[in-house]
Structure formats: structure tokens, C-alpha cells
A = this chain, B = another copy of it.
Amino acid sequence: MRRSILASALLLCTALPLQAATPTTIPDAALKTADTLRAQALADDTGWKVTESLTTEVGPRLAGSEADARAVAWAQAKFKELGFDKVWTEPVTFPKWERRSENAQVTGAHAQPLVVTALGGSAGGTVEAQIVRFPDLAALQAAPEGSLAGKIAFVDFQMQKKLDGGDYRYGGGIRGRGPSEAIKKGALGFLMRSAGTTPHRVVNTGITRYEAGLTPIPAAAVSIPDADQLARLVKLGPVTVKLALDCGWDGEATSYNVIGEITGRSKPKEIVLTGGHLDSWDLGTGAIDDAAGIGISMAAAHLVAKQRPARTIRVVAFANEEQGLYGGQAYAKAHAKEIKQHVIAAESDFGAGHIYAFDSNAADHAKGAIEAIAGALKPLDVAHKPGTGDPESDIGPMAQLGMTWAFLGHDGTNYFDLHHNADDTLDKIDPKDLAQNVAAYAVFLYLASEAKGDFGSTPKAAPAKPGH
């Protein structure tokens, strides 16, 4: 999940006056080693094996669940098995949400079941009411006050496939803000067309939030074929839906950021940070979201370790990204005073599609080094695309504190076929793409660790609450 390009530009601009003038460079010897590393990574299946292991042995791992605790133990064991020099955990506490059961059906003359899933964070409850269809969030927002009294709002917006997954701003926006908008208009329940692009009968969940002061209503998504069906039925006359969700918040849970380090040979206190998030939604096995990120970052660091990198490579398996970047925020809170030590960071949390773009908000004096890294990524068919990237989800809070980030952009064309739905399983990952991802991360991590000079990480003012 990305913040806007504007926000990134601002981060870049405000960082400029603070940078030193000595240009950061990448030694030629390191670039040669990167060639070796790239070839090794493309022929290596560590990334696949790690991803397979997490998705198979743990499976779905909703934050705060029993499986989430198993995932934490799994990550510690896996770091050790892969020979990381240091492995530890840092606690992350958050409200616990549970999905118990969910179903919905059209009632009346065209009675039939619907394939639905509760949005994460939804209130439980059973409502039966006429649906009112809106083509998008703006239409719902434009509905007169009170016009949905006794009704269920149905926002029927279809995301389109995009290389950068850009339509998620609309689909994710409906999921996040739709329920609150529906409550404001008086609705008893909220339904939305799945924030995804799959024509199959699986439904994309994901967190929603009710604005303070509103009384939460049951909020769910329907699969795309079911949304098509509702849209056809609405054309025939009034449609009544019964939505029954048994889910809700249940106290607090504590999980853990699991951290593994390859200690740097000459600058052990300087950190090149990477990772992914360990938790997943509960419907699939969290393969592209984000076992792949865990697999890519663990495997890349593992391969880099064999080259004995100058700086420390730190891999963080972040806790509870899905419900509000809790792991990323806890990490930023715990390490707020170590911004300068975090030389640069890149997280993988956008699946396992081919990495096609590289970008960074590195300071001007490090542009040459960034270009050298981009050059080393080029044989992997990764283009240098300044201005296109953002820090991924969990490193966002540290980036807001001034940590320099890099962006390795995955092809997201098919990402929302799988994102947060039951189809997010291992078989959807192409092992060749995953190996390319590992190679790109290995090259980046190694060269960043070998760079002579920094990338501009500099403490800034306290962060605004990040979006997610």
C-alpha cells in the first residue's frame, strides 16, 4: 500500500537541505560481486522454499490468532536455520479482531445465496433490508442525509487491473471509508463489490474503520460475480439482502516483529533494512501477501551473507501489517532514535510479480550510488524510474521519521486477483518471478551495504499517523 507521489515528493524536498555534499559511491569490486550474486539468486530456490514453508506449515495467520503465534515461532526458527547472526523479537500489541462466520442471501422472489466476506474490523450482527446501489464512494457520499434509513448501502465499484495496482486507491478507499459514510446516511448494513479484479467467487477482505462516534454496522464485500448478480437484480426491482456476520473485536493481543540480522563485516552498526510482514488475512494462506515478502527478504539476505557485506543487513518480519501497520509503527517507535543508523530500507509487500521498477528518495549526494545500483538491476529487467515509488507499508513510519527508502516495484497487474482473498495461495506464485525478486533484493541489499557514504537518512520531525 502506497502513499501518494506527492507525499513522497515532499519527503524528498524536505530532506534536501540537510544532506552532506560528499558523493556516495559504489565500489567497482562490489558491482562485480553483485553480478555473481544476481546469477546465484536466479538459480537459487531459497525464496521459494521459505514461502512454501510459511504458507504450508503455518497457513493463514490472522494477527493475534493461534496461527500468528506459530508464525512468530516459525520466523525465529527460519532465521536461525538460514544462518542469520542475530535473531530476536520485539512485542507489538493491538486490538484483536475475529471472524467466526458469515453468510448472506438475497431474500424474496429471487432468493439465492451470496458469496460474501466480512471486512476486517466489521461489527457483527444480522440485518435484512433492501439494498441501495451506488456506483462509487462519491455517489454514496452524495446521498441525502437519512436517505439510507432502514437500508443496506451497496457500493458497486469495479477496480481495473493496473501495472502499479493504482485502482486500489478507489477499492481500498471504499472499503475503508464506505461503512462510515453509509452509517452517516442511516444505513443498517454495508456491502461492497470486492476490492479486487478476480472473476472467481472469492472475496477480498481487508481492514475497515468506523469513524469515531458512529455506531458500527455489519460491513461485507461480495465477490465480483455476486456484485454483477446484484446489479442485474436491482435493475429488475427492489432487492432485499439478509447479511449475517459473526465477527468482531475481542480485547488485545500481543504478537511480535521477528528480526534477523546478518552482521556487517566492517560497519556492523549501520543497517540496511528489508523485510515483509508476517501476518496475513485469514481467507488465503497469505502467499503473495506477504509470505513472498518474507521469502524474498530472508532469501536475499541469506544470499548476501555469503558475500560478507560491509554493513549489517536487517530483515524484519513485521507483525500485524494488515490491520493498521502495527508492526511498522512499533518498530518506528522502538527505533526512532536510530534513523541515521538505518542507512536505507526497502520492503517487499506487493506480491511476487516481476520487479520492473527501482526508485529511491536518497539524498542528492547519493544519486550516483542509486544510479549504480539501478545499473546493476538492469540485467534483471528492472528500470530506474525516479519519482514512481514509495516506501512500502511497514517501513513507512520509519521513512516518515527520516529514514531513506528504496522502492523495488513489483508488476501488480494481477495482484488484486489474489489480494486478501481465498485465492492467495502458493500455487499463484511463479517461481521464476520469485527468483527474480530475490535477485533484485540481493543486489540492492548488497550494494547498499557496500556503498561508500550514506543515502541521506536524517532524523525529522515526529511523524503524522501514516495511512495504510
Number of identical monomers bound together in the oligomeric complex: 2
**A110 to B56 Cα, complex, angstroms:** 8
Instruction: Tell me whether A229 and B111 are in contact in the complex, defined as CB-CB below 8 angstroms, given that A200-B202, A427-B199 are known contacts.
Output: no
Give 11 A-B contacts (CB < 8 Å), ordered by A residue. A56-B229, A57-B236, A58-B110, A59-B106, A66-B111, A113-B282, A199-B427, A200-B200, A200-B201, A201-B425, A228-B426
The yes or no answer to A39 lying at the interface (CB within 8 A) is: no
Chain B residues within 8 Å of A202, by CB: 200-202
Partner of A59, one of B110, B426, B428: B110
The answer for the CA separation of A229 and B59 in the assembled complex, in Å, is 9
The chain B residue sitting closest to A224, CB to CB, is B427
Instruction: Name the B residues within 8 Å of A336 (CB-CB).
Output: none
Indicate if the CB atoms of B111 and A67 lie closer than 8 Å: yes
1/0 per residue, CB under 8 A from B, across A255-289: the answer is 00000000000000000000000000010110000
A233 within 8 A of B: yes
A60 with B425, Cβ < 8 A, contacts A52-B232, A200-B202, A285-B229 known: no
A110 to B229, CA, bound (A): 37
Q: Whole-angstrom distance from the CB of A153 to the nearest CB of chain B?
A: 22
Taking CB atoms and an 8 Å cut-off, the chain A residues in 41-77 that contact chain B are 52, 56-60, 66-67, 70
Interface size on A, residues (CB 8 A): 37
- How far, in whole Å, are A428 and B223 apart by their CA atoms in the complex? 14
Query: Which B residues are in CB contact (< 8 Å) with A14?
Result: none
Within 8 Å CB of A423, what residues of B?
200-201, 225
- List, in ascending order, chain B residues with CB within 8 A of A225's CB: 423, 425-427
What 1/0 mask marks residues of chain A from 109 to 120 whose CB sits below 8 Å from any chain B CB?
Answer: 111110100000
| A9: chain B residues within 8 A (beta carbon) | none
Main secondary structure of the interface of A (DSSP, over half): mixed
A425 smallest CB distance to B (angstroms): 4
Contact indicator B425/A56 (Cβ below 8 Å): no
Residues on B with C-beta less than 8 A from A110 are 56-59
Judged by a CB distance under 8 angstroms, whether A11 is at the interface is no
Please tell me if the beta carbons of A228 and B427 are within 8 angstroms of each other in the complex: yes
Inter-chain contact B111/A422, CB cutoff 8 Å: no
4 other contacts beyond A60-B113, A225-B426, A229-B285, with CB at 8 A cut-off? A59-B111, A66-B111, A201-B423, A228-B427
> Which residues of chain B come closer than 8 Å to A422, judged between CB atoms?
115, 201
Residues of B within 8 A of A113 (CB): 59-60, 282
| Chain B neighbourhood of A59, CB < 8 A | 106, 110-113, 229
Which partner residue on chain B sits nearest A115 by CB separation? B422
Q: Are A112 and B285 in contact (CB under 8 A)?
A: yes
Q: What are the 10 A-B residue pairs with the smallest beta carbon separation, nearest first? A: A59-B112, A201-B422, A225-B425, A200-B200, A56-B232, A225-B427, A57-B110, A201-B423, A200-B423, A201-B202
Cross-chain contact A112 with B67 (CB below 8 angstroms): yes
Closest residue to A284 on the B side, CB-wise?
B201
In the assembled complex, the Cα of A422 lies from the Cα of B70 at a distance in Å of: 32
Residues facing B in A395-429 (CB within 8 A) are 422-423, 425-428
Contact with B along A76-115 (1 / 0, CB 8 A): 0000000000000000000000000000001001111101
Q: How far is the CA of A190 from the CA of B52 in the complex (A)?
A: 26
